[in-house]
Chain A
Amino acid sequence: MIYNTGIIFSWISFSLLIILFFNKKNLYTEILVRVNLFIQVLLFCLLEVGLFLNDFSLSYIANFSAKSTPPLYKFASLWGSLDGSILLWNLCLSLFMYFYLKFYKDPSSNIDVKIFTLIMIFFVGYTVFSSSPFAGCIELATVGCSSSTILPFADLVTSNIGRGPNPLLQNHPLMAIHPPMLYIGYVGMTMPFVAATSRLYSKKEDSNSWIEVAEKTTYIPWLFLTIGITLGAAWSYEVLGWGGYWAWDPVENVSFIPWLLATAFLHSSKIQKTQNTLLNWNYILVGLMFLSTIFGTFITRSGVLISVHAFSNGNIGTYLLFGMLLFGLIFIVIGSRNIEYFSKSKKIDNWFGKSGFFVYNNIFLFSSALVVFIGTIFPLIYETLYSRQITVGRAYYDILVGPLLLILLGLMIFSVKLSIRNLNIRKWLNEYIILLNTALIVTIFSLFLLNNSYSLIITVSFSFILIFITVNNLYKNFRVPKGNSSYWTGQIAHLGIGIFALGIILNVSQSYSTEKELSSFEEFNFNNETYFVYDAIEESLPEKNVIKLPISDTEHTKYTSLNIFKNSSQQAISSPAVFRSIINDIYITVKFIDEDSYKLIVRNNYGVLIMWIGLLITSLSFLPRLRKNEV
């Protein structure tokens, strides 16, 4: 039932999109976009219903959900693997299409709907022709389903348990929020691409209307991408029990690249709006933002790289490469038709004025994106050239991206007050000298408490100066209606990044760990605090066995646990007991349990809460935009 309905509705959706592509009447466009959204919502709900009814005649449900899966993770199983996540992708895309039509449509031409529809056809086409989450199971494996069909009305076979989701995906509620947030951010990058290409295609190049729409439509996905990446880092920290939050894993990298590019674009678009410069560069950025999302999906879903996230392989690789070529070509053709317009781009006048600083910002953000990109694909290139495998790990990124981001942090200090004319450093010093000195004194005092290194002192000084100057500015001027909401969006985002930088450098430079071997009812000392270990409690849930070990400090009792999932032969997942404070977390994971002796890893992680607070503030940067109803 769900199988037939799902496949038929995917087909209907595909055909409607084809009609939409060739349609010329505005009324039909309005109707078709809404109908398309409705069908995508329907398909989403249909698969959810299937998941909750345990309809194991669907190959996807048999393979990625199980009877014993708890409801929340059943819900999240929809995007737990490739085919289902494309369904979520399509839902986001149709939502954005509706949103775009309603708020940002070019009233004089239909080309933006056409480009948007083409992108949508591409992704819906995948579920129709290649691999659908509604595919019916025609051959059973020992557990789950081994062979499936995407044609309707076939005779299906049903298994009765289901394989269940990847254990990593059913261990923490954040898993239900993190992927959709990222998807909204990722898919949203389609909007600026459509805005730029369509408006330049119809060649009304006298105005900068495309940049305004592109800027507005970039901010929303940027925000969701920020939230999505933050939640992913938090999930990694809370669930994986390795004490970290970011591993420069390929999948993390490909979510970071569009973020860097979008951040660059959010800055450079401002310069184009006010000074009519960087026209060509902005166009390139918009294109790369969109293409990098498809590239990211390609890297992570085609199985070319090994990663914690690469849990699903399919034949989507070539399909996505084809898509990248197609959309890249559209982008280049439309760009080359507008060479004349781009050549009108003004040159930069003042290299130490507003435009100069924004150019530096773009250079460093883009370089960071490039470095991350090269690091991500380098193992592939290397293997092709030398047929040997290498790993590009943290050291590469620390050496190359670290300094670039540090320079950006330094540049942010000047963002409080930039004028079009060149910065007068003497005047600047006169204005901020008291704040500057206070920040430096605070830095010195905090350095006495820390393990010093040059990367630490520079980051801490920059962060404190940035935080002091920005807070002072917010306190003094925020209430004055300056009529420039995007300025305040930037200031709040910068403040958040300043706090975040402080947290991350503390974490990287100060954290340490040790191992303890203990028996039940023993205590140990760590970081001037006594911890007491109780006896382990065993718990058997339908989907997993949990061994919980209560540990208490003087005030709280927390549990660290080993989760052994019944559907997986992988090693047990160790969840941490975290005793939090602003400055540092005591993060305890159990390594193994032998009768009543335990081996614990005890970490002292600095700055984690500061990082989350910083990123939260950055995520709240949308607030000033609400003030003037300027979304």
Chain B
Amino acid sequence: MKSRYITFALIIIILLMPLLFPSSESRLETWSKALLCPVCQGETIYDSPSEYADDMRSILEKQIDDGLTDSEINEFWVNRYGERIITNPITNNLEILLLPLSIVLIFISIFIRKLYVKK
């Protein structure tokens, strides 16, 4: 029986770990993972070794050093290259989350209700 309390304690410790030792991803990293390199095939500027991505990264670095807000940075890149440049569509298009989520939910409810629950 006691070992179950140990399990409980261990789980609590594990859940506290991220608070005690937080990870740090810089804003530059987050943003360079979110921007598409327009001359490469489907790579972000974080992944791409091309010089074009290099130039974009240095602009980005300057923007972050200048303390621009996320929406300002977003606006700058979208104005320049169109929405395509943002690989994280969730920031701009919430419907992309709603569509799959609603389909998945509908699917799950049909699946459970109609097909497999005993009346």
Interface, chain A (partner B; CB < 8 A): 241-244, 247, 249, 277-278, 280-281, 306-308, 345, 347-349, 359, 363, 366-367, 370-371, 374-375, 378, 382, 388-396, 399-400, 429, 433-434, 436-437, 440-441, 443-444, 447-448, 451-454, 456-457, 461, 509, 571, 574, 589, 591-592, 601
Contacts and interface: CB of A to CB of B under 8 A. Distances in A.
B100 A601 contact: no
B76 interface: no
16 contacts: A242-B49, A307-B41, A307-B42, A359-B111, A359-B116, A374-B100, A375-B96, A389-B82, A389-B83, A396-B89, A437-B6, A440-B10, A444-B10, A454-B18, A457-B18, A591-B54
Contacts, number: 157
Contacts of B22: 452
Nearest to A460: B14
A433 B88 contact: no
B60 to A, nearest CB: 14
Interface string B15-44: 101101111100000000110100001111
Contacts of B85: 391
Given A434-B3, A437-B6, A390 B34 contact: no
B71 interface: no
Contacts of B118: 347-349
Q: Majority SS of interface residues in chain B?
A: helix
A391 B107 contact: no
Contacts of A371: 100, 104
Contact of A366 (B15, B92, B99, B107): B107
B5 to A, nearest CB: 10
Contacts of B33: 394
A390 B116 contact: no
A437 B49 CA distance: 44
Given A363-B107, A447-B17, A457-B14, 18 more contacts: A280-B115, A281-B115, A347-B116, A348-B117, A367-B107, A378-B96, A389-B83, A391-B84, A392-B89, A393-B36, A393-B44, A394-B87, A399-B90, A436-B7, A440-B11, A440-B14, A441-B10, A453-B18
Contact of B97 (A347, A400, A429): A400
B92 A390 contact: yes
A247 B41 CA distance: 11
Interface in B48-85: 48-51, 54, 82-85
Interface string B94-119: 00110111011001100110011110
